[in-house]
Amino acid sequence: MTTATAQPITFATTKPESLWDKARKRFFRHKLAMFGVVTLSLLILVSIAAPLLTPYSPIELDLRAIRQTPSAAHWLGTDGTGRDVLTRVLYAGRISLSVGLVSVSISMIIGVIIGTIAGYAGGKIDMALMRLTDMFMTFPSLVIIITVASAMGPSVYNAMLVIGLLTWPSIARLVRGQFLSLREEQFVRAARSIGVSNWEIAFKHIFPNTVSSIAVAITFGVANAILLEASLSFLGLGVQAPTPSWGNMLRDAQSLNILEGMPWMWLPPGLMIALAVISINFIGDGLRDALDPRSIL
């Protein structure tokens, strides 16, 4: 051990690049995520532009054109009451996707708040909040949704609300878990040793480190909510006829001879659900990889 070694160490490049720039780059390089983004944007776009894309109404019946096979006039055929399946699939996208987004926003707000409080406060508060969360988790969600839907009357808004109110526990647990482990990190202790207040430690030091997993949970939550809405509508408790949603279109195609002989009635909405869920999950995967500051370019 000799004298000082305090000499500046230089890198070849010193151009600063923010964490977000890097994350964005990584995200755009993620092939599956890009596939998800493109597909989902396309789905959203055609749902919004539905009136411009088809000449038919999604609601009005046309009893002269019942159960027609796909043709030049009806690309995806018509359903049991003569409505154009393509038109209905496009309009249904509006409902299904917005149910996904709205209900996840509700569940995220509740989940993040409860998870943050429980994870940072710890002790008795954590205990109380987590037992509440457990309680919500043990509810068989479908049964509750059915009960609530039948009590309050089935509607799109009720479906959004109920899905939101029943799916927050998973987000709360995730956020709490993240807080619990991050709270023990040395950098939190370092912040305390500097004199940073509890409030600032929670929001400036810990919360930014949970954002990536929350973002991922949100995407998976949207996919899950779309599926839940589909099952609700399939059971006749979600979106009500004649408004189309992917779920109630499947429900309308339940009978055996339709399943066997008229795949154009159930294949398109089913494919749309699968496509939407898969692309959202790919986006979630991409986000998870991109938002980890430790992953290397």
Is residue 68 within 8 Å of 86, Cβ to Cβ? no
Does residue 189 interact with another protein by CB under 8 A? Answer: yes
Six-digit token string for 30: 């993620």
Among 131, 193, 256, 257, binds another protein (CB under 8 A): 193
In this structure, what token pair is assigned to residue 162? Answer: 């109920």
Token pair recorded at residue 118: 């429980």
Handedness of CA 199, 204, 209, 215 (dihedral sign): positive
Residues 6+ apart with CB under 8 A from 250: 230, 233, 234, 266, 269, 270
Q: Which is nearer to another protein, 140 or 195 (CB)?
A: 195
Q: Which listed range, 3-11, 24-32, 33-41, 97-105, lies at the site for another protein (CB under 8 A)?
A: 3-11
196 is a contact residue toward another protein (CB under 8 A): yes
156 or 188, CB closer to another protein?
Answer: 188
197 binds another protein (CB under 8 A): yes
- Binding flag, residue 199, another protein (CB under 8 A): no
Q: Does 205 bind another protein (CB under 8 A)?
A: yes
Looking at 6-14, 83-91, 168-176, 215-223, which segment touches another protein (CB under 8 A)? 6-14
d(C-alpha 104, C-alpha 149), whole Å: 18
Q: Does 125 bind another protein (CB under 8 A)?
A: no
The half-sphere exposure of 179 on its side-chain side, counting CA atoms within 13 A, is 26
- In the bound state with another protein, the residue whose beta carbon lies nearer, of 179 and 246, is 179
Cα separation, 36 vs 94, in Å, equals 18
Is 10 a residue that touches another protein (CB under 8 A)?
Answer: yes
Nearer to another protein, 153 or 208 (CB): 208
Q: How far is the CB of 190 from another protein (least distance, A)?
A: 5
Could you tell me the smallest distance in angstroms from the CB atom of residue 232 to another protein? 39
Among 51, 153, 208, 261, binds another protein (CB under 8 A): 208
Question: Quick one: which of 153, 192, 255, 274 contacts another protein (CB under 8 A)?
Answer: 192
* Binding mask of the shown chain, residues 169 to 188, with x at each position contacting another protein by CB under 8 A: ----------------xxx-
Q: Are residues 103 and 164 in contact, defined by beta-carbon separation less than 8 angstroms?
A: yes
Asked whether 142 and 231 are in contact (CB, 8 A), the reply is: yes
Which residue of 52, 63, 143, 194 would you call a contact of another protein, by CB under 8 A? 194
Tokens of 196: 């940073």
Q: Helix (H, G, I), strand (E, B), or coil: what is residue 78?
A: strand
Distance CA 212, CA 127 (A): 25
The contact pattern for another protein, residues 12-51, with x = CB under 8 A and - = no contact, is --x-x-xx--------------------------------
Give strand pairing partners of 172. Answer: none
Take residue 135 and report the two structure tokens written for it.
Answer: 């309680």
- The pair of three-digit structure tokens given for residue 225, joined into one six-digit string: 């909510």
**Applying CB under 8 A, which residues contact another protein?**
1-11, 14, 16, 18-19, 185-187, 189-198, 205, 208-209, 293-294
